[in-house]
Amino acid sequence: AGSFMLVNTSGRFAGQKAHLLLPHLKENDTHCIDFHYYVSSKSGSSPGTLNIYVKVNDGPIGNPIWNTSITATWNRAELAISTFWPSFYQVVFEVVTSGHPGYVAIDEVKVLGHPCIKTPHFLRLQSVEVNAGQFATFQCTANGGTDSNDRLWLQGIYVRDAPLKDIKVFNFRRFVALFSVVNATKRDAGNYRCMIRTEGGVGVSNYAELIVKEPPVPIAPPQLSSVGATYLWIQLNANSINGDGPIIQREVEYRTSSGSWYDIQPVDSTSYKIGHLDPDTEYEISVLLTRPGEGGTGSPGPALKTRTKCADPMRGPRKLEVVEIKSRQITICWEPFGYNVTRCHRYNLTVHYRYQAGGQEQVREEVSWDTESSHPQHTITNLSPYTNVSIKLVLMNPEGRKESQELVVQTDEDVPSAVPLESIQGSTFEEKIFLQWREPVQTYGVITLYEITYKAVSSFDPEIDLSNQSGRVSKLGNETHYLFFGLYPGTTYSFTIRASTAKGFGPPITNQFTTKISAPSMPPYELETPLNQTDSTVTVLLKPAQSRGAPVSVYQIVVEEERPRRTKKTTEILKCYPVPIHFQNASLLNSRYYFAAEFPANGLQAAQPFTIGDNKTYSGFWNTPLLPHKSYSIYFQAASRANGETKIDCVRVATKGAATRKPDPEPEKQTDHTVKIAGVIAGILLFVIIFLGVVLVMKKRKLAKKRKETLSSTRQEMTVMVNSMDKSYTEQGTNCDEAFSFMDTHNLNGRSVSSPSSFTMKTNTLSTTVPNSYYPDETHTMVSDTSSLVQSHTYKKRDPVDVPYQTGQLHPAIRVADLLQHITQMKCAEGYGFKEEYESFFEGQSAPWDSAKKDENRMKNRYGNIIAYDHSRVRLQPIEGETSSDYINGNYIDGYHRPNHYIATQG
């Protein structure tokens, strides 16, 4: 009899268990376990469940291989277990109560030494190895028959069961059942066995292992070795992996970061060059590893993201054309291009242009942002009008550049800029202005016209009506000067000039010029007969002068003593008297004239008589009684002063001849005694003056030769300057009357004036060529200076040690433009001229000249008495070995404002 077990479930809670464990079986041949079982309850309910387990090698008990819950009678079942030595197994019977009363019984458990009758026996089940993600197929081969009522499945320990995939029946004694573990993973790995449940029992195979291998995956991304425009060198860096080996194949997978394109290339070394790539494109590169078996290729490893370099552009932009031309901008277009031309996503399209501006080449460049348009354009602004502009497009990327063909375009004309203000020059006369200008700095085209608008804005003479002094003048583009005539003297005119091109007029520019004032117009005095005349007085009728451009400033009475002329004149030309001389200074200066009176213009509003010689003082001038034994000419002159000018006109109003008889004795007065004493003193003074005059005449003869040379040189200088001022004049003599006649017809700058008897003057301090002794009382000094005299200059008097030739006298600077009139004044001034100036210089040696007297230097001197002083001589660079090589017959001579130097050398 075999093993048995009886379980009474009455009074048991649900879930309680009872076990029957058979001894370990180590069978070496086919065998069958046979047993009887009984499950019954009076109530008809199942008292519990009978489960059978087969535990192999004391391993996990696993899931039940057979079970039942209710039978009405005793039944028989078979267990066909295909586990053989050296493995062993143990059969475990288990009863699990349901909570209902009843009985569960097992009896006659036997191990039979032959195959089971109603249950097939499985042959040995082989282990299966697959790569993760694949189907693991188990092939269960059994001896015995099967029908459709049999249940076949693949049972695993702690893993999912696999259903039957297919069954192949070879004959009534052999069939093969196929089971698949779908998408096997590491969690599906474990032990599996074949199971079949028949009507007579259950067949169980041995355990076979399902081995699931993970395909290898690199841990790190590949490494970049070098980069080109169309290639990438990488190191696979695949020694460290996740997954299982062995590695039987390596591949490189690379794809663009944007887009779906990718490629896989097999690799047989640890480094690899990926070629035929696109420039400036980002790629993701991974390594694929493959192990044996289907699905052995692992997932791509970590990706290396890198970008190829840019390649040199294929070509430059094409079809560069002009769309629009304006005066200051040009719009261009070109043929659109794309990546196939740029070969780089990072590129610049710059517009390079150059043009001439201000005599210099200007080179500019601008970035064009309109590169992706189907009709790309670019506008170049801030150009100069009417200028040739050379334009080209430059396509650049980090690896190179390509240029388009150059296009030369001329911008359109525009209105010109303003005429330069500093170029507007006006040569002013009394009734004319000669206006000159230059064309605009920026013509911006061809100047076709100049428009000059002029208008009188003010006058020194408030009585002048300026309403009709305006107009407009047009000049052709090649004319840049115009003479305006018929103007009013002493009037400021505003001149507005603007230039025009084909585009119109440019901005106007305005400048003002003032005509010179004219000398007042003296009323006519047809007869020089005075109203009354005595031996010491002359009474004349003074009439107001008519202003011309400026109001009359002052009236003056001039008395000139008539003396015999040294030379004859064919025509007497009236001259006026710009330099006021007091009667007290006339004798000292040997002047033939003196001012008897001066009074302001408002003192003569209408004609009124005036007595010359009334022994009164007028504005500081003594109207001394006339001497009966002398002849006089009485002049009445008016002066206008404005704008730094003084214009004088004069007219002779009377003459007085010398008395031919003694005047009638007058009644005795109380002052006769005083007069007699004064007469005696005057006689003594007259004797002294005559004596001094004789001395001066003798000294004058000594210097006659030198004066003759000086006068000859001066005459030549005057002739050259006069000829340079006016080609129409012939050489002028040095006669004072002729010189004044010449000066009367020419002003300072050689321009003709309206009246031959007017004299141009500028209000400045009187020239220092006239000694201060002219004026006994500085408070009554008339501060006027003619431009014929030298202009006054402020300068610092130098130390006599530094300048031995200075005498302490004033030697003012003479402007070249004033030289002619200065020579005339100095030659004609009888009180102070070249003679007196020459006589004021030192004579003879005034400083040591030892170096010049040395024997070795005597031959270097041109004259024996004109040699260099030691303290001021020019010192040459000495020659080595020659002690006297630094000497030359030359002195440094100071200028008026700073020392003047010159280069000296000896040959």
Do residue 295 and residue 322 come from a single domain? no
Least confident window among 80-84, 423-427, 789-793: 789-793
Across the range 492-511, mean pLDDT stands at 95
Q: Tens digits of per-residue pLDDT, 438-470?
A: 999 888 899 999 999 999 999 998 888 888 999
Q: Identify the pLDDT of residue 813.
A: 65
Report, in this order, helix, strand and coil percent for the chain, each rounded to 5. Answer: 10, 35, 50
d(CA 284, CA 305): 5
Q: Which domain holds residue 865?
A: 848-906
Q: How confident is the model at residue 134 (pLDDT cuts 50, 70, 90)?
A: very high
Is 70 exceeded by the pLDDT of residue 663?
no
Q: How confident is the model at residue 690 (pLDDT cuts 50, 70, 90)?
A: confident
Query: Is residue 625 included in any domain, yes or no?
Result: yes
Q: Identify the pLDDT of residue 427.
A: 94
Residues in the chain: 907
Do residue 88 and residue 150 come from a single domain? yes
Q: Letter for the amino acid at 150?
A: D
Half-sphere CA count of 533, side-chain side, radius 13 A: 16
Task: Residue 488: name the closest of 470, 506, 507 by CA.
Answer: 470
Do residue 231 and residue 183 come from a single domain? no
Is 90 exceeded by the pLDDT of residue 694?
no
Do residue 284 and residue 156 come from a single domain? no
Do residue 435 and residue 500 come from a single domain? yes
Taking phi over 0 as left and psi of -120 to 50 as alpha, with beta for the rest, 553 belongs to alpha
Do residue 225 and residue 206 come from a single domain? no
Query: Is residue 488 included in any domain, yes or no?
Result: yes
**CATH number of the domain enclosing 487:** 2.60.40.10
Q: Which residue has the higher pLDDT, 158 or 511?
A: 511
Q: Which residue has the higher pLDDT, 331 or 758?
A: 331
What is the SS3 string spanning 628-693? CCCCEEEEEEEEEEECCEEEEEEEEEEEECCCCCCCCCCCCCCCHHHHHHHHHHHHHHHHHHHHHH
Is 80 exceeded by the pLDDT of residue 121?
yes
Do residue 482 and residue 392 come from a single domain? no
Q: What percent of the chain has pLDDT over 90?
A: 54
What is the SS3 string spanning 681-726? HHHHHHHHHHHHHHHHHHHHHHCHHHHHHHHHHHHHHHHHHHHHHC
Query: Is residue 735 included in any domain, yes or no?
Result: no
Q: Which residue has the higher pLDDT, 670 or 179?
A: 179
Do residue 362 and residue 378 come from a single domain? yes
Q: How confident is the model at residue 704 (pLDDT cuts 50, 70, 90)?
A: low
Please return the burial class of 540, using the count of CB atoms within 10 Å of its CB with bins 0-12, 13-18 and 19+. Answer: buried
Across the range 698-724, mean pLDDT stands at 47
Is 80 exceeded by the pLDDT of residue 94?
yes
d(CA 246, CA 289): 10
Query: Is residue 838 included in any domain, yes or no?
Result: no
Q: Tens digits of per-residue pLDDT, 272-312?
A: 999 999 999 999 999 999 999 999 999 999 999 999 999 99
Name the CA dihedral angle for 500, 505, 507, 513, rounded to a multiple of 10 degrees. Answer: 60
d(CA 635, CA 654): 7
Taking phi over 0 as left and psi of -120 to 50 as alpha, with beta for the rest, 428 belongs to beta
Q: Identify the pLDDT of residue 798.
A: 35
Task: Residue 123: name the closest of 169, 84, 166, 162 by CA.
Answer: 84
Radius of gyration over alpha carbons of the chain, in Å?
A: 69
Q: Kindly report the average pLDDT of the chain as a whole number.
A: 82
Is 70 exceeded by the pLDDT of residue 620?
yes
Q: Which tokens is 454 given?
A: 């002029």
Across the range 855-868, mean pLDDT stands at 80
Report whether 610 contacts 548 (CB < 8 A).
no
Count of the separate structural domains present in the chain: 6
Query: Is residue 721 included in any domain, yes or no?
Result: no
Phi/psi of residue 658, each to 5°?
A: -70, 145
Q: Which residue has the higher pLDDT, 740 or 227?
A: 227
Do residue 482 and residue 538 come from a single domain? no
Cis check: omega of the bond before 215, within 30 degrees of 0: no
**CATH number of the domain enclosing 100:** 2.60.120.200
Q: Identify the pLDDT of residue 371.
A: 78
Is 90 exceeded by the pLDDT of residue 753?
no
Q: Identify the pLDDT of residue 298.
A: 92
Q: Tens digits of per-residue pLDDT, 369-413?
A: 877 888 999 999 999 899 999 999 999 999 999 999 999 999 999
Contacts of 749 (CB under 8 A, 6+ apart): 817
Query: Is residue 666 included in any domain, yes or no?
Result: no
Across the range 202-217, mean pLDDT stands at 95
Tell which of 636, 656, 676 closes a domain: 656
* b/e code 234-251 from CB counts within 10 Å (16+ = b): bebbbeebebbeebeebb
d(CA 121, CA 115): 7
Q: Identify the pLDDT of residue 123.
A: 95
d(CA 132, CA 188): 9
Do residue 607 and residue 635 come from a single domain? yes
Least confident window among 482-486, 531-535, 877-881: 877-881
Tell which of 616, 636, 656 closes a domain: 656
Do residue 275 and residue 153 come from a single domain? no
Beta bridge mates, 176 = 141, 168
The DSSP call for residue 258 is S
Query: Is residue 571 included in any domain, yes or no?
Result: no
Tell which of 656, 677, 712 closes a domain: 656
* b/e code 496-514 from CB counts within 10 Å (16+ = b): bbbbbbebeebeebebebb
Most confidently predicted of 319-333, 458-472, 570-584, 656-670: 319-333
Q: How confident is the model at residue 540 (pLDDT cuts 50, 70, 90)?
A: very high
CA 851 to mean position of chain CA atoms: 63
Query: Is residue 737 included in any domain, yes or no?
Result: no
Q: How confident is the model at residue 593 (pLDDT cuts 50, 70, 90)?
A: very high
Do residue 12 and residue 128 come from a single domain? yes
Task: Residue 248: name the closest of 304, 288, 210 by CA.
Answer: 288
Q: Identify the pLDDT of residue 857.
A: 85
Q: How confident is the model at residue 4 (pLDDT cuts 50, 70, 90)?
A: confident
Q: Identify the pLDDT of residue 903.
A: 55
pTM listed for this prediction:
0.48
Q: Identify the pLDDT of residue 670.
A: 41
What is the SS3 string spanning 173-241? CEEEEEEEECCCCHHHCEEEEEEEECCCEEEECCCEEEEEECCCEECCCCEEEEECCCCEEEECCCCCE
Report whether 748 contacts 822 (CB < 8 A).
no
End-to-end CA distance of the chain: 163
Q: Identify the pLDDT of residue 720.
A: 39
